Amino acid sequence: MIDRFGRDINYLRLSITDRCNLRCKYCMPDGCDMARHEDILSYEEFLRVARLAAALGVEHVRVTGGEPLVRRGAVEFVRALKAVPGVKKVSMTTNGTLLAKYGEALAAAGLDSVNISLDAADEDLERRICGSGGVVDAVRASLELMRSLGVPVKLNAVLLEETAGAAAGLARFAAGGVPVRFIELMPMGVGRFERGCDPDAVLAGLKRIWPDLHPVDARIGSGPARYYASDALAAPIGFIDAVSHRFCSGCNRVRLTSRGFLKPCLCYDEGADLRALLRSGASDADILDAMRICIFNKPRQHCFDTPQDMTESRLMSQIGG
């Protein structure tokens, strides 16, 4: 549906759990609060919202978390989403560590694409960031598995001060044909206590290695990445720098938190408590009304540059990234 600023909102992200098997320092380090299981939406509740969202024009649903693959039944959930009338694409964002176990079943369930998050290709550095060992090898194997199954894969890396020097190592995945996107650190949740790094400085560093890196008009997926290509790389490199380069005028997404709160913008604790409606016997028409009002009133833009205006205090693991 079209919001009050004329944007076509056709992309819904579902955080199906706030739990995770990793502890990325900018997202969900040790000691973060987790919801009680009964406070997290059931798959039936998520599916009901997805069906209603599709009736409002949502065509792409992304399953995220926390780590979506730690929730039992995630594969069946993907299959059920694929059957929702109007939903044309179902994708997933995952840390990749459980794809060896579930990748084949996800492909069979019809998963259209997968984004795998990896912040450094260097094992020691990655361990310091995500709190676990073996992640780089697991992601490498997952990438190969998903590609062999015909599921398109992209790699996402959050830019931290300490990973700036490791960007080239990740960018080399593009030489093997996997688009790599560098995500600017957002001051969300515990991320606000971390130091990010300047995406333009990272790009400049990559240009010293691949001098022919040049902007290309690639559009891969539903995101707002700016892409650069080099003859030496089989896939483009992207930058999702929402903080320093505002993409809000083209934003097409809304998010449903693991506790069922529909969020039209990352920065603000504004939205619709769909869980309260779902659990109080509300009709589809009532829930649709709440969703319509929430989407129509999507804020014009984020306020990362004036953090004092941010009203959101949820963790990214609850929101889904």
Strand order in the sheet with 253-256: 214-216, 226-229, 237-240, 180-184, 153-159, 113-117, 89-94, 60-64, 11-15, 253-256, 261-263, 272-273
Q: Interface with ligand SAM by CB under 6 A: which residues? A: 20, 26-27, 64-65, 67, 93-95, 117, 156, 158, 183, 185-186, 188, 191, 316-317, 320-321
What are phi and psi for residue 241, nearest 5 degrees? Answer: -110, 70
Report what 156 binds from ligand SAM, ligand SF4, none; CB cut-off 5-8 Å by kind.
Answer: ligand SAM
- By CB under 6 A, name the one of 24, 120, 240, 274 that touches ligand SF4: 24
Which of 19-27, 164-172, 184-192, 252-260 is the region at the interface with ligand SF4 (rule: CB under 6 A)? 19-27
Distance CA 258, CA 88 (A): 22
171/183 with CB nearer ligand SF4: 183
125/287 with CB nearer ligand SAM: 125
179/210 with CB nearer ligand SAM: 179
Instruction: Rule CB under 6 A: say whether 317 interacts with ligand SF4.
Output: yes
Four-residue CA torsion sign, 307, 310, 313, 314: negative
CB of 182 to ligand SAM, least distance (A): 10
- Per-residue binder mask for ligand SF4 (CB under 6 A), 66-95, x = binder: xx---------------------------x
Phi-psi region of 258 (alpha: psi -120 to 50; beta: other; left: phi over 0): alpha
Distance CA 158, CA 151 (A): 23
Q: What string of H, E and C letters represents the secondary structure of 271-311?
A: CEEHHHHHCCCCCHHHHHHHHHHHHHCCCCCCCCCCHHHCC
Report what 191 binds from ligand SAM, ligand SF4, none; CB cut-off 5-8 Å by kind.
Answer: ligand SAM
CB of 80 to ligand SF4, least distance (A): 22
Report what 140 binds from ligand SAM, ligand SF4, none; CB cut-off 5-8 Å by kind.
Answer: none
Token pair 């408590």: residue:
273
- By CB under 6 A, name the one of 9, 12, 16, 27 that touches ligand SF4: 27
244/286 with CB nearer ligand SAM: 244
- By CB under 6 A, name the one of 22, 106, 278, 295 that touches ligand SF4: 22
CB of 321 to ligand SF4, least distance (A): 7
Distance CA 190, CA 56 (A): 33
How many residues touch ligand SF4 under the rule CB under 6 A: the total is 13
Which among 225, 254, 210 is positioned nearest to 154, based on CA atoms?
225
> What is the secondary structure of 10-63 as a DSSP string?
-EEEEE--S--S---TTT--TT-----GGGSPPHHHHHHHHHHHHHTT--EEEE
Using DSSP's 3-state secondary structure scheme, residue 238 falls into strand
- By CB under 6 A, name the one of 9, 12, 16, 20 that touches ligand SF4: 20
Q: Tell me the C-alpha to C-alpha distance, in Å, between residue 113 and each of 50, 122, 192, 290.
A: 18, 25, 30, 30
- Per-residue binder mask for ligand SF4 (CB under 6 A), 123-162, x = binder: -------x--------------------------------
Residues that bind ligand SF4 (CB under 6 A): 20, 22-24, 27-28, 65-67, 95, 117, 130, 317
